[in-house]
Amino acid sequence: MADIPCSISLLSLCQFVKPEWLQEVIRLGMLARGTSASLEDHFLLPNENKYRPDFGTTLLPAQKALNIWVPNEERVNLFRNCRFICLHEKVTTTDTELREVLHRGGGLLENFDIHSGIQKFRRALSRSQAKEGKKTVVVGDLDSMQLAIGSDDWKELMTEARRYATFCHNCRT
């Protein structure tokens, strides 16, 4: 998953600002009462636009548009109609972080140990499918999962996944 804190912020209607914004909040908070800019007298936070960070050099040109990074009501509960089944060998920190991102987006995540077998996987998919109004999305790292259980078992899991869900392969979770 990309930058987890950034993803959570985008789903939570947060503003991205430079550390100088917080320094300005602290400065305004330390001003004596009765001054025109005192936070105790006039709770006016510094303008976020003045403290926007520069775009990272690793961002694609299409991602260097301000409207992508400002709060957007449409992102709130972005995953509310989705139930994710994350294929893994064992739960990792990244799985926990993914759960937080999906939770912030209103989605649900079920971790599934790929060594549990096709019958349990079928039941997990069926249970997910039974959730009214929810789309099932299976997430997994194609290469590591195939190595872990072998090509034949992996193909069987994928056949089952395609029957019930949208499948996101090569996701790095």
28 within a domain of the structure (yes/no): yes
- Chain position carrying tokens 């789309």: 135
The percentage of the chain sitting over the pLDDT mark of 90, rounded to a whole number, equals 21
Residues 82, 124, single domain; the answer is yes
Q: How many CA atoms lie within 13 A of 32 on its CB side?
A: 2
Residues 111, 44, single domain; the answer is no
User: Looking at the predicted structure, is the pLDDT value of residue 173 above 60?
Assistant: no
The last residue of a domain, from among 39, 73, 107: 73
Residues 148, 117, single domain; the answer is yes
The last residue of a domain, from among 73, 99, 121: 73
Q: Which of 56-65, 68-77, 87-96, 126-135 is predicted least confidently?
A: 87-96
What's the pLDDT score for residue 21? 96
Q: Which domain does 56 fall in, by range?
A: 4-73
Q: What average pLDDT does the structure give for the chain? A: 84
User: Looking at the predicted structure, is the pLDDT value of residue 13 above 50?
Assistant: yes
pTM over 0.85: no
Residues 43, 85, single domain; the answer is no
What is the C-alpha separation between 79 and 165, in angstroms, rounded?
Answer: 15
Output the CA–CA distances (angstroms, integers) from residue 111 to 58, 73, 76, 89, in the order listed. Answer: 31, 28, 23, 10
What's the pLDDT score for residue 165? 65
**117-171 residue pLDDT tens:** 889 999 999 888 887 778 888 888 888 888 889 888 888 888 888 887 665 544 4
173 within a domain of the structure (yes/no): no
User: Looking at the predicted structure, is the pLDDT value of residue 1 above 50?
Assistant: no
User: Looking at the predicted structure, is the pLDDT value of residue 50 above 60?
Assistant: yes
What's the pLDDT score for residue 170? 45
143 within a domain of the structure (yes/no): yes
What's the pLDDT score for residue 16? 92
Concatenating the DSSP letter of every residue in 20-35 gives HHHHHHHHHHHSPTTS
φ/ψ of 11, rounded to 5, equals -80, -15
Q: How many domains does the chain have?
A: 2
Residues 57, 17, single domain; the answer is yes
Residues 9, 64, single domain; the answer is yes
Question: Torsion over CA of 57, 79, 140 and 131, rounded to 10 degrees?
Answer: 180
CATH of the domain at 79: 3.40.50.10140
User: Looking at the predicted structure, is the pLDDT value of residue 44 above 50?
Assistant: yes
Query: Average pLDDT for residues 23-50, to the nearest whole number?
Result: 86
Concatenating the DSSP letter of every residue in the chain gives ---HHHHHHHHTTPPP--HHHHHHHHHHHHSPTTSTT-TTTS--PPPGGGGPPPPPTTS-GGG--HHHHS--GGGTTTTTTEEEEEEESS--HHHHHHHHHHHHTT-EEEEEEGGG-HHHHHHHHHHHHTSTT-EEEEE--HHHHHHHH-HHHHHHHHHHHHHHSEEETT---
- Residue 82: beta bridge partners? 135
What's the pLDDT score for residue 97? 83
- Residue 108: beta bridge partners? 83
What's the pLDDT score for residue 121? 92
Residues 91, 163, single domain; the answer is yes
Residues 85, 102, single domain; the answer is yes
Residues 48, 118, single domain; the answer is no
Residues 93, 155, single domain; the answer is yes
